[in-house]
Amino acid sequence: MAEECIFCRIVAGEIPSDIVYQDGDFLAFRDIMPKAPTHVLIIPRTHITSAAELTEGQEKLAGRLIIIAKNLAEKEGIAENGFRLVINCGSEGGQIVPHLHLHLIGGRQMDAKLG
Ligand code: DGP
Mean residue pLDDT across the chain: 96
Q: Are strands 19-22 and 83-86 parallel, antiparallel or unpaired?
A: unpaired
Task: Classify residue 1: in a domain, yes or no.
Answer: no
Residue 115 lies in a domain: no
Q: Say which CATH number the domain at 51 has.
A: 3.30.428.10
| Residue 17 beta carbon below 6 angstroms from any ligand 1 atom | yes
Residue 81 structural domain: 6-106
Would you say the pTM of this structure is higher than 0.95? yes
Kindly give the distance from the C-alpha atom of residue 59 to the centroid of ligand 1, in angstroms, as a whole number.
24
Query: Is-catalytic flag, 101?
Result: yes
Domain count, the chain: 1
In a domain, 113, yes or no: no
pLDDT digits (tens, 9 = 90+) for 2-47: 779 999 999 999 999 999 999 999 999 999 999 999 999 999 999 9
Q: Is residue 97 assigned to a domain? A: yes
Rounded to the nearest angstrom, the distance between the alpha carbon of 29 and the centre of ligand 1 is 10
Contact 48, 99 (CB under 8 A): yes
